[in-house]
């Protein structure tokens, strides 16, 4: 389940493509979360100028002014392959780049690809809030004040903070000792800075470990992340303090927390 740290690691792996030219593009037939645009073939002959990330979204910028945005959804992967490698099921896009291929594989099809022309604004960005790594307590304070959602649901709202998903929302709230059930607008003033710090820290620490892997996530070399060993409450029985971890459902998703979160 790729969240900001996992997408960050993928982006780092794709950075070496900067300056490379797309020699050919093959588009899969099945629709992703958004249907893959028919115009993906327009990428042929274009040169990659940059690979960026905002929240959980990747952006390939081309020297022509085109931008390809990509979301990994739940099970999306960008993988480097030799052209002779067998094509795995659920491969939705193959980009021939030099002597190798970059393939987008997504079994559950919750991800998407979108292509913007030179004159189009990549509207994906406008939709999202501040990137999780750039969050400050001054930035967080008004966001909290304006939301009556439970803190856990608030943290999952990509239009407020981009990049935090289920795992890191639970982990950040534990670090800040805040209950996931507390309403965002009722967060004590004294807890705003600790929460902002907890979010940025847990994201950065996970990046340093290559992200968190359960079943699906791997980087562009096919390697899993190791942050799973550092999880305090997410899918744990006991927190590091020794309290039993409770599981509840909020907004249809599992929340893990313990009694020291108030």
- Which residues form the catalytic set? 2-3, 56, 253
Beta bridge partner(s), residue 62: 48
Helices (H), the chain: 4-14, 124-127, 137-145, 151-156, 166-175, 189-208
Q: Closer CB to DNA, residue 61 or residue 124?
A: 124
Residue 16 vs residues 21, 105, 242: alpha-carbon distances, Å = 12, 20, 44
Q: Closer CB to DNA, residue 167 or residue 203?
A: 167
**Interstrand relation of 246-250 and 253-257 (parallel, antiparallel or unpaired):** antiparallel
Q: What are phi and psi of 56, to 5 degrees?
A: -100, 10
Q: Closer CB to DNA, residue 63 or residue 214?
A: 214
**Interstrand relation of 77-81 and 100-105 (parallel, antiparallel or unpaired):** antiparallel
Residues of the shown chain interacting with DNA in the complex, contacts defined by CB under 7 A: 1, 3, 30, 33, 55-57, 71, 73-74, 89-90, 107-110, 127, 146-150, 153, 156, 158, 165-167, 184, 215, 251-254
Q: Closer CB to DNA, residue 45 or residue 214?
A: 214
Gap between the Cα atoms of 31 and 194, Å rounded: 42
Smallest distance, DNA to C-beta of residue 47, A: 28
Smallest distance, DNA to C-beta of residue 215, A: 5
Smallest distance, DNA to C-beta of residue 63, A: 27
The residues, ordered by sequence, that sit 6+ positions from 86 with a Cβ below 8 Å of its Cβ are none
Smallest distance, DNA to C-beta of residue 185, A: 8
Q: Closer CB to DNA, residue 101 or residue 166?
A: 166
Q: How many residues does the chain have?
A: 262
According to the 3-state scheme, what is the secondary structure of 127-169?
A: HCCEEHHHCCHHHHHHHHHCCCCEHHHHHHCCCCEECCCHHHH
Smallest distance, DNA to C-beta of residue 162, A: 8
Q: Closer CB to DNA, residue 20 or residue 250?
A: 250
Smallest distance, DNA to C-beta of residue 153, A: 4
Beta bridge partner(s), residue 68: 60, 115
Token duo for residue 117: 């022309």
Gap between the Cα atoms of 14 and 218, Å rounded: 13
């Amino acid at each position: 389940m790729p969240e900001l740290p996992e997408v960050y690691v993928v982006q780092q792996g794709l950075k070496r493509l900067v300056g490379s030219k797309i020699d050919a593009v093959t588009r899969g037939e099945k629709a992703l979360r958004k249907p893959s645009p028919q115009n993906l073939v327009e990428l042929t002959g274009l040169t990659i100028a940059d690979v960026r990330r905002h929240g959980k979204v990747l952006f390939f910028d081309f020297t022509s002014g085109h931008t390809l945005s990509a979301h990994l959804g739940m099970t999306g992967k960008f993988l480097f392959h030799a052209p002779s490698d067998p094509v795995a099921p659920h491969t939705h896009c193959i980009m021939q780049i030099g002597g190798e291929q970059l393939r987008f594989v997504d079994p559950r099809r919750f991800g998407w690809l979108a292509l913007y022309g030179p004159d189009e604004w990549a509207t994906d960005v406008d939709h999202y809030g501040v990137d999780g790594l750039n969050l400050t307590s001054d930035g967080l304070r008004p966001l909290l004040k304006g939301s009556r959602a439970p803190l856990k649901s608030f943290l999952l709202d990509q239009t407020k903070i981009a990049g935090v998903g289920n795992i890191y929302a639970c982990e950040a709230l534990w670090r800040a000792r805040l209950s996931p059930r507390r309403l965002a607008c009722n967060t004590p003033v004294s807890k705003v800075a600790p929460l902002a710090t907890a979010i940025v820290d847990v994201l950065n620490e996970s990046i340093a470990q290559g992200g968190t892997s359960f079943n699906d996530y791997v980087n562009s070399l096919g390697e899993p992340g190791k942050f799973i060993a550092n999880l305090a409450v997410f899918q744990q029985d006991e927190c590091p303090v020794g309290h039993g971890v409770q599981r509840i459902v909020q907004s249809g998703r599992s929340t893990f927390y313990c009694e020291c979160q108030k």
